[in-house]
Amino acid sequence: MDEPTELFDDLYLGLRAGGAIRKRRRGESLTSEEEAALSRWHRLSQWRKIIAIGAFAVGTFGLGFTLGGIVFSRRGKREAV
């Protein structure tokens, strides 16, 4: 079993399923790919969903923390000059 590949596949599946859920909530019709992604997400085991959502949250936090550090560190240097 290739764990890293599966994690990225689960992340992508979760993003697609999330988009399909939002479309369904707005009353829009879903494509066959969106229906399939939603169906696969519902069949995914609970622990794999938790890992995928957790990895997305950690990755998003890490990216935001890094970009925030870059932006605010440059701002501080400009004001000091």
Domain count, the chain: 1
How much is the pTM? 0.62
User: How long a stretch of residues is the chain?
Assistant: 81
More confident residue, 2 or 6: 6
- Round to whole Å and give the CA distance between 48 and 5: 13
pLDDT at position 1: 45
Q: Which domain holds residue 23?
A: 3-80
Give the per-residue pLDDT at 26. 94
Which pLDDT belongs to residue 3?
63
Residue 5: exposure state from Cβ atoms within 10 A (0-12, 13-18, ≥19): exposed
Question: What does the pLDDT look like over 24-80, one tens digit per residue?
Answer: 999 999 999 999 999 998 998 999 888 888 888 888 888 787 878 877 776 655 555
